[in-house]
Amino acid sequence: MSEERCTTFCPRIIGESKNLEMVLDRANRVAPTDCTVLITGETGTGKELMARFIHGHSRRKRKPFVAVNCAAMSKDLLESELFGHVQGAFTTALRNREGRFEAADGGTIFLDEIGEMPLDLQAKLLRVLQFKEFSAVGESKVRRVDVRVVAATNTDLVQMVRDGTFRQDLFYRLNVVRLQLPALRERKDDIELLVHHFMKKAGEQYGRQVEELCPCAMRRLTAHSWPGNIRELENAIEHAVVMGMGERIEEADLPTLDSLSEDELVDFMRPLSDDGIDLQTVLRQIEAQYIQQALDQTSGNKNQAANLLGLNRTTLVEKLKRGLLQPVSTAV
Ligand SMILES: Nc1ncnc2c1ncn2[C@@H]1O[C@H](COP(=O)(O)OP(=O)(O)OP(=O)(O)O)[C@@H](O)[C@H]1O
Ligand SMILES: [Mg+2]
């Protein structure tokens, strides 16, 4: 379970891309209200950060922010975690216990992975949203709280409603304002800003002064499709800061980045605009991508890399000599 209280801390959300700015604009407008917010987005896109941002920009910011991961426990445990229980409610309930809703009174509760909440608990949550009241496990007395709900999911709740695994009425209640966080591959303009932010963060954490990143390393970061999104990028930069020797991150300091799948390659292509493209340049970029991956996967072994690409070694060496890209290691 992830549970944390935050009062005055408000995180910074880094990024200036159009995709993110649109979401940030909506977030800034909804934050000061008491409106329920549903945050959606792939793993690692910053859903929890956004929930904290909303709390930090609300009138509740000096009250608790309580995060509960609905996927982290069984139905019974989750019910007692959220709503509390009274002594004797079940065999291990030796004393009364306050639930997270009461702990968050006056503040915000962040229900992470809301799609994992069992159906009968969904009914209880709906009641809190509608009437701000609930009962602890093992008790009939009604308790009242003043809590704003921010929920997040990376599953398709609309599909779950269709499948009958998520209540439609709860979905509408949560989905009053939805903030859909873009995947990192949809906001590649932000990579450079994020890299510098994470270099500074990791630098402070490890007592290193890392200020620069070589252009080859930046090219590799920009070309990657980032299935793990910002978390994956943050980890990659942390790795590079730890492994690097100097003030500049070199390409070799980066971890191996997982390969592009065929589907992701489609993403790599841009729609053909009226201005057209320079096909030779685009093809060279795709070629460079695959050669880089083959060299990464074979620790720079040109024979093996050429095999992976269906090229003979001489052709690969020629391409490398033409300055297509630098091999990652000195192995032959
Ligand atoms: N725009 C951003 N600026 C700075 N840091 C960010 C940004 N977005 C995400 N991060 C950082 O990336 C990491 C992952 O973010 P977070 O935990 O909020 O993602 P998530 O969507 O909740 O992921 P998951 O679905 O896996 O739970 C965190 O360390 C967070 O601080
Ligand atoms: Mg999360």
Query: Same domain, yes or no, for 56 and 178?
Result: yes
- CB of 14 shorter than 6 A to ligand 1: yes
What would the two tokens of residue 180 be? Answer: 């859909």
Tens digit of pLDDT for each residue in 219-234? Answer: 999 989 898 999 999 9
Question: Does 10 map to a domain?
Answer: no
**Residue pair 149/111 in contact by the 8 Å Cβ criterion:** yes
Mean pLDDT of 296-320: 83
Task: Give the residue whose CA is nearest to atom 8 of ligand 1.
Answer: 46
Query: Same domain, yes or no, for 224 and 248?
Result: yes
Q: What is the pLDDT of residue 271?
A: 66
**Residue pair 63/192 in contact by the 8 Å Cβ criterion:** no
**Residue pair 238/198 in contact by the 8 Å Cβ criterion:** yes
Q: Which domain holds residue 39?
A: 18-182
Query: Same domain, yes or no, for 108 and 254?
Result: no
Task: Give the residue whose CA is nearest to atom 18 of ligand 1.
Answer: 46
CA of 52 to the centre of ligand 2 (A): 11
Query: Same domain, yes or no, for 36 and 131?
Result: yes
User: What 8-state DSSP symbol labels residue 270?
Assistant: P
- CB of 15 shorter than 6 A to ligand 1: yes
Query: Same domain, yes or no, for 113 and 128?
Result: yes
pLDDT higher than 60, residue 37: yes
Lowest model confidence (mean pLDDT) among 278-282, 287-291, 292-296, 300-304: 278-282
Query: Same domain, yes or no, for 57 and 92?
Result: yes
What would the two tokens of residue 19 be? Answer: 């995709």
Q: At 157, which CATH number?
A: 3.40.50.300
Point out the ligand 1 atom lying closest to the alpha carbon of residue 152: 22
Query: Same domain, yes or no, for 207 and 163?
Result: no
- Closest ligand to the CA of 44: 1
Question: Does 7 map to a domain?
Answer: no
Query: Same domain, yes or no, for 253 and 194?
Result: yes
Given 212, 239, 258, which residue is the final one in a domain? 258
Helices 215-223, 279-297: inter-axial angle, 10-degree rounding: 100
**Residue pair 143/137 in contact by the 8 Å Cβ criterion:** no
Lowest model confidence (mean pLDDT) among 69-83, 133-147, 189-203, 299-313: 299-313
Spell out the residues 6+ positions from residue 261 whose beta carbon is closer than 8 angstroms to its own.
none
pLDDT higher than 60, residue 267: no
The pTM for the full model equals: 0.78
Given 258, 286, 311, which residue is the final one in a domain? 258
- CB of 49 shorter than 6 A to ligand 1: yes
Query: Same domain, yes or no, for 190 and 178?
Result: no
Task: Give the residue whose CA is nearest to atom 15 of ligand 1.
Answer: 46
Query: Same domain, yes or no, for 66 and 169?
Result: yes
- CB of 327 shorter than 6 A to ligand 1: no
CA of 243 to the centre of ligand 2 (A): 27
Point out the ligand 1 atom lying closest to the alpha carbon of residue 112: 27
Q: How many domains does the chain have?
A: 3
Q: What percent of the chain has pLDDT over 90?
A: 66
**Does residue 150 sit in helix, strand or coil?**
strand
Q: What is the pLDDT of residue 135?
A: 95
Query: Same domain, yes or no, for 158 and 24?
Result: yes
Point out the ligand 1 atom lying closest to the alpha carbon of residue 230: 12
Question: Does 47 map to a domain?
Answer: yes
Q: What is the pLDDT of residue 258?
A: 67
Q: How confident is the model at residue 270 (pLDDT cuts 50, 70, 90)?
A: low
pLDDT higher than 60, residue 325: no
What would the two tokens of residue 151 be? Answer: 């929920």
- CB of 45 shorter than 6 A to ligand 1: yes
Question: Does 193 map to a domain?
Answer: yes
**Residue pair 35/177 in contact by the 8 Å Cβ criterion:** yes
pLDDT, averaged across the chain: 88
Query: Same domain, yes or no, for 146 and 29?
Result: yes
Q: At 332, which CATH number?
A: 1.10.10
DSSP 167-210: -HHHHHHHTTEEEEPPPGGG-GGGHHHHHHHHHHHHHHHHT---
- CB of 102 shorter than 6 A to ligand 1: no
Point out the ligand 1 atom lying closest to the alpha carbon of residue 154: 25
